[in-house]
Amino acid sequence: MKTQIKICGLSTETAIDAAIESGATHIGLVHFEKSPRHVSLERAAQLRAHAGDRIRTVLLLVNADPKLTGKAIGDIKPDVVQFHGSETPEWLKLVADNSGLEIWKALGVEDAPTLAKSDRYIGAADRLLFDTPAKALPGGTGTSFDWSLLAGHDHQIAWGLAGGLDPDNVSDALTATRAPLVDVSSGVESAPGVKQVDRIAAFCQAVREFDEAR
C-alpha cells in the first residue's frame, strides 16, 4: 500500500501544482491568523478551486468558533476538516454530523499516556495526526517528537505522522513508525510559509522510494 502524503500550509497555485505533480495525495490550507501559513477564507477558496478534484484538500482550523467553522466549510468546500487545537470529540462529531465531511484531529505526543488518551476520539475523528506537542504555535514548527512512542501502539483510528518531517528524515520516520500517512509543512520550505517546489518533489520522492523498497 502506498503511503499517503499531505503537503500542508500551501498558499500559492504553484505549490499546489507541485504537490499534485509530485504525487501527494492531500494538500492543507491553514486558516489560523497566528500561523505564517495563514490564508484568508477568500484566498483559501481560490486555492481550493485551483486544486479541484486533482487532489484532496484539507482545511486546517485551530479552536475556531462555530460561526467561523461553518463559514470556512461553506466558503472553501474542503474534502477534509483538520482540527489542530483543543477541540473535543463532541465538537468533532457535531461538525462531522452537520457537514458530512471527513474529520481529522491533530494530537501532540508527549508520552505513552497521550497515545492511550487518543482513544477518546473513536467515533469522532476519521483520522488522528500525531504531531509534536504545541508550543507558541500548534504545528509547523519543524520539530519532531520521539517516534519510538508509536512503536507497538494498537491504533484504533486511522492515523498519520507529522512534526519535523523533511526529505532527509521521512524515510527514517516511516521505518520507525510505518505511518500510513505523512504530513509535511516547514520541512519543504525556504522560509516560514514559503514552499519550495524542489523540496516538495524531494519529499514525495523519498516517500515513494521507501514504498518501493519495503
Residue 110, pLDDT above cutoff 60 = yes
For residue 7, which of 135, 173, 160, 171 has the smallest C-alpha distance?
A: 160
Instruction: With cut-offs at 50, 70 and 90, classify the pLDDT of residue 75.
Output: very high
Task: Report the pLDDT averaged over residues 154-165.
Answer: 94
Residue 97, pLDDT above cutoff 70 = yes
Instruction: Judge whether 80 and 104 are in contact, CB under 8 Å.
Output: yes
Instruction: With cut-offs at 50, 70 and 90, classify the pLDDT of residue 134.
Output: low
Instruction: With cut-offs at 50, 70 and 90, classify the pLDDT of residue 153.
Output: confident
Residue 141, pLDDT above cutoff 80 = no
| Whole-number average pLDDT of the chain | 94
Instruction: With cut-offs at 50, 70 and 90, classify the pLDDT of residue 139.
Output: very low
Q: What is the pLDDT of residue 151?
A: 81
Percent of the chain exceeding pLDDT 90 equals 84
Q: What is the pLDDT of residue 42?
A: 98
Instruction: With cut-offs at 50, 70 and 90, classify the pLDDT of residue 137.
Output: low
Residues 172-183 have pLDDT tens digits of: 999 999 999 999
Q: What is the pLDDT of residue 135?
A: 57
| Pairwise CA distance, residues 200 & 20, whole Å | 10
Instruction: Judge whether 108 and 131 are in contact, CB under 8 Å.
Output: yes
Q: What is the pLDDT of residue 1?
A: 82
Residue 142, pLDDT above cutoff 90 = no
Q: Is the pTM of this model over 0.85?
A: yes
Sign, Cα dihedral of 101, 106, 180, 8: positive
Residue 209, pLDDT above cutoff 70 = yes
Q: Could you tell me which CATH number the domain at 4-195 has?
A: 3.20.20.70
Tell which wins on pLDDT, 134 or 50.
Answer: 50
At residue 49, what is the residue type?
A
Task: Report the pLDDT averaged over residues 129-137.
Answer: 75
Residue 22, pLDDT above cutoff 50 = yes
Task: Report the pLDDT averaged over residues 142-171.
Answer: 90
